[in-house]
Amino acid sequence: MKRGKLDTMVSRNRIRLLQFLMGLVFFYLLFMSFEIPLVYRTGYGSVPDDGTFGFTSDTLPRPFLLESEEEMADKDAPRRPSDDTFLVSHGSPHRTPERRMREFKKVSGLVFDESTFDRNASKGEFSELHKAVKHAWVVGKKLWGDLESGKIVLQPKTKTENQSETCPHSITLSGSEFEAQSRILELPCGLTLWSHITVVGTPRWAHLEDDPKISILREGDDSVMVSQFMMELQGLKTVDGEDPPRILHFNPRLKGDWSGKPVIEQNTCYRMQWGTALRCEGWKARADEETVDGQVKCEKWIRDDDSHSEESKVIWWLNRLIGRTKKVAIDWPYPFAEGRLFVLTVSAGLEGYHINVDGRHVTSFPYRTGFVLEDATGLSVNGDIDVHSIFAASLPATHPSFAPQKHIEMLTQWKAPSLPKKNVELFIGVLSAGNHFAERMAVRKSWMQHRLIRSSIVVARFFVAMHGRKEVNIELKKEAEYFGDIVIVPFMDNYDLVVLKTIAICEYGVRTVAANYIMKCDDDTFVRVDAVIDEAHKVQSDGGSLYVGNMNFHHKPLRHGKWAVTYEEWPEEDYPTYANGPGYILSSDIAEYIVSEFEKHRLRLFKMEDVSMGMWVEQFNRTKPVLYHHSLRFCQFGCIEDYLTSHYQSPRQMVCLWEKLMHQRRPQCCNMR
């Protein structure tokens, strides 16, 4: 009895205490909700935290615009972390660029003058590129204007609640249904681990090929008999305005290959660039070669004779029956034959795609950089083949959501620090495309976390142009507002125009950031920030002009093939000495020169941005000597031990490289995909 009474008293007191605390919390919240906006509005150091800066229609003058630059520099000087003082002593003594732009812009300040592109167009020289620039600028500027004014809005999402409807576990198509869908099987939610697709088809008989792309390979004969088909896993939803990426291109050539033998070629086409083809020519992959989930990349087949196969099968079977040999190697013929039905299954393993034909493993293709399984949203089969039916099963049950923001993690820890008021040692401009959400996120989580970047001695920004798909642009704008590390270059994105982004990087690096060095890289480049600065300091002892990277000497333009450079585009026989695009550094005087030449309309533009840079530096070198420094440690392809930058790194590899740097303190490569 007594205890019970005591208990109720205690609990009554507790309730009162709770009520009191809740009251306190309420008043605190009330107070904060009035106070915080005030704090933010007055603090001029809070540029990126105030995510709306640069995008809103808020036209109130910013308080910091009124500050003079010297005052800012004075105020800031004591804040420089002591352990980075080496930068002060080594920092280029020559001259630091003057910061001309008085605000830290999130849109590139590169000035386009449309009329100049018209004026010289009649001369014919480089006019195609200039025309393209102008078009991209006009379209892109309008797009960005609409986006900023909020004219572009996303339609409310069409119902996606019914998961079973949007993400089927399996899909079955008959041959005629497949034909009716223009030979594309749509996979609404992509693939997942161990999803598999089975195609039943019959290769058609060889026909005379008149496609010059194929027949050119066989000079002498004026006709070639060809039978081949292409099965491709494509990323229908990942990119718009470009060809869809071919995540797996599987191309059996029964007849007509230049080798004269039946082969299977496999490849990927990422951002409209073909990779290196994996050719299976009937030799089993060597034992020391990389395997895929324990499977060889290419199985052996009988290279010449089909008639042997029946015989050898029988012999093998007899040997097994008699029990004479435990292990008998049996060779199968090439898995496809004209007019003969086959059943092909492609499945998604841990390390790559596996292809089985008629129940036997034929090839395995390791996953390549840049794709995740759910990106494979379509399967197309084209060429000399009749498809009888297609089955896809073990497809992802839950919708991974193709919304690009799935890659974006809105956490304050990944936000860029605000731009410092002092000059910056190194500015890193990262070329990126609107839909490369995953790539940017991986950069943010890896080398952008370097202490030199967190302390604003080095500043890194992504340079992104307008994308063809409005959903992407809307997401991009949100991303830019949140992270504060994206500079919009307001023209329509186009492969031939990346050169403009390079100029925009120079402009931003010189005018907005006022950096001593300017570096350009790609969003699949991993940068060892401190090592790169050390390299520049080591080379530049006298404060002269500098161009550092993986140099190409006396390279010649490719004059044939898909990526040919015409004589109109590049009349000279040689390219100038130029650093490979995935990572190079300039001293700021060169960058300044480039921007000013561009604004005077004297800058020659070429579609390859790295060659263009070589050309501009060569021009600069005529008036003031430039120190060219070549280092293979700026890797063009992949990664080497002790790299300064490594390239073609997938988002996973980026994070892996960063972890190795952090935990093992060693620049080691991550060779998984």
Ligand X SMILES: *[C@@H]1O[C@H](CO)[C@@H](O)[C@H](O)[C@H]1NC(C)=O
What minimum distance in Å lies between the beta carbon of 119 and ligand X? 6
What track of x and - describes contact with ligand X for positions 523 through 562 (by CB under 6 A)?
----------------------------------------
Distance between CA atoms of 129 and 534, rounded to whole angstroms?
A: 37
Q: DSSP letters along 620-635, please?
A: HHHHS-EEEEE-TTB-
Q: DSSP letters along 245-299, please?
A: PEEEEEEEEEE--TTSS-EEEEEEEETTEE---EEE-SPPPPTTS--BTTB-SB-
What minimum distance in Å lies between the beta carbon of 512 and ligand X? 24
The residue written with tokens 């700026």 in the block is: 634
Of the two residues 169 and 601, which places its CB atom closer to ligand X in the complex?
601
Decide if residue 577 touches ligand X (CB under 6 A): yes
What minimum distance in Å lies between the beta carbon of 160 and ligand X? 11
| Interface segment toward ligand X; rule CB under 6 A; list 200-208, 315-323, 410-418, 618-626 | 618-626
Of the two residues 57 and 122, which places its CB atom closer to ligand X in the complex?
122
Decide if residue 58 touches ligand X (CB under 6 A): no
Q: Which of residues 109-168 bind ligand X (CB under 6 A)?
A: 119-120, 162, 164-165
Of the two residues 68 and 115, which places its CB atom closer to ligand X in the complex?
115
What minimum distance in Å lies between the beta carbon of 517 and ligand X? 19
Of the two residues 190 and 614, which places its CB atom closer to ligand X in the complex?
614
**Burial of 578 per CB tally in 10 Å (0-12, 13-18, 19+):** buried
Binding-site member from 534, 621, 630, 668 for ligand X (CB under 6 A)? 621
| Interface segment toward ligand X; rule CB under 6 A; list 107-115, 236-244, 447-455, 622-630 | 622-630
Of the two residues 127 and 215, which places its CB atom closer to ligand X in the complex?
127
Distance between CA atoms of 527 and 524, rounded to whole angstroms?
A: 10
What minimum distance in Å lies between the beta carbon of 601 and ligand X? 4
Of the two residues 150 and 625, which places its CB atom closer to ligand X in the complex?
625
3-state secondary structure of 32: helix
Decide if residue 413 touches ligand X (CB under 6 A): no
Of the two residues 135 and 469, which places its CB atom closer to ligand X in the complex?
135
Of the two residues 33 and 164, which places its CB atom closer to ligand X in the complex?
164
What minimum distance in Å lies between the beta carbon of 500 and ligand X? 14
Of the two residues 209 and 610, which places its CB atom closer to ligand X in the complex?
610
The residue written with tokens 């809005």 in the block is: 153
Among residues 385, 363, 438, which one has the least CA distance to residue 199? 385
What minimum distance in Å lies between the beta carbon of 618 and ligand X? 5
568: DSSP letter? T
Of the two residues 534 and 599, which places its CB atom closer to ligand X in the complex?
599
Of the two residues 14 and 601, which places its CB atom closer to ligand X in the complex?
601
What minimum distance in Å lies between the beta carbon of 555 and ligand X? 13
Q: Measured between alpha carbons, how far is residue 300 from residues 31, 334, 361 in Å?
A: 75, 9, 10
Of the two residues 169 and 451, which places its CB atom closer to ligand X in the complex?
169
What minimum distance in Å lies between the beta carbon of 116 and ligand X? 7
What minimum distance in Å lies between the beta carbon of 607 and ligand X? 15
Paired with 181 in beta bridges are none
Residue 399 main-chain phi, psi, to 5 deg = -75, 120
What track of x and - describes contact with ligand X for positions 66 through 105 (by CB under 6 A)?
----------------------------------------
Distance between CA atoms of 334 and 312, rounded to whole angstroms?
A: 14
Decide if residue 618 touches ligand X (CB under 6 A): yes
Among residues 637, 495, 496, which one has the least CA distance to residue 580? 637
Q: Strands 578-587 and 515-522: what pairing?
A: antiparallel
Decide if residue 169 touches ligand X (CB under 6 A): no
Of the two residues 164 and 541, which places its CB atom closer to ligand X in the complex?
164
Distance between CA atoms of 371 and 190, rounded to whole angstroms?
A: 11
Amino acid in the structure at residue 525: T
Decide if residue 574 touches ligand X (CB under 6 A): no
Distance between CA atoms of 290 and 267, rounded to whole angstroms?
A: 16
Neighbours of 163 (CB within 10 A): 12
Distance of CA 101 to the CA centre of its chain: 30
SS (H, E, C) 113-152: CHHHHHHCHHHCCCHHHHHHHHHHHHHHHHHHHHHHCCCC
The residue written with tokens 């869908």 in the block is: 181
Of the two residues 114 and 311, which places its CB atom closer to ligand X in the complex?
114
Total residues interacting with ligand X, rule: CB under 6 A: 13
Of the two residues 424 and 615, which places its CB atom closer to ligand X in the complex?
615
Among residues 537, 502, 458, which one has the least CA distance to residue 617? 502
Cβ atoms of 448 and 485 within 8 Å: the answer is yes
What minimum distance in Å lies between the beta carbon of 546 and ligand X? 12
Distance between CA atoms of 206 and 602, rounded to whole angstroms?
A: 55
Decide if residue 625 touches ligand X (CB under 6 A): yes
> Contacts by 217-223 with C-beta closer than 8 Å and gap 24+?
217/258, 218/258
Tokens of 233: 């896993």
Decide if residue 398 touches ligand X (CB under 6 A): no
Among residues 263, 340, 331, 264, which one has the least CA distance to residue 302? 331
Distance between CA atoms of 415 and 284, rounded to whole angstroms?
A: 50
Among residues 532, 435, 511, 17, which one has the least CA distance to residue 235? 435
| Interface segment toward ligand X; rule CB under 6 A; list 276-284, 351-359, 499-507, 620-628 | 620-628
Q: Which of residues 206-265 bind ligand X (CB under 6 A)?
A: none
Binding-site member from 79, 286, 451, 601 for ligand X (CB under 6 A)? 601
| Interface segment toward ligand X; rule CB under 6 A; list 211-219, 434-442, 481-489, 625-633 | 625-633
Decide if residue 642 touches ligand X (CB under 6 A): no
Distance of CA 428 to the CA centre of its chain: 16
Of the two residues 386 and 597, which places its CB atom closer to ligand X in the complex?
597
| Interface segment toward ligand X; rule CB under 6 A; list 288-296, 395-403, 464-472, 624-632 | 624-632
Binding-site member from 137, 628, 634, 643 for ligand X (CB under 6 A)? 628
Decide if residue 409 touches ligand X (CB under 6 A): no
Binding-site member from 12, 16, 142, 602 for ligand X (CB under 6 A)? 602
Tokens of 588: 């700021």
Amino acid in the structure at residue 356: N
What minimum distance in Å lies between the beta carbon of 124 and ligand X? 11
Q: Interface with ligand X by CB under 6 A: which residues?
A: 119-120, 162, 164-165, 577, 601-602, 618, 621, 625-626, 628
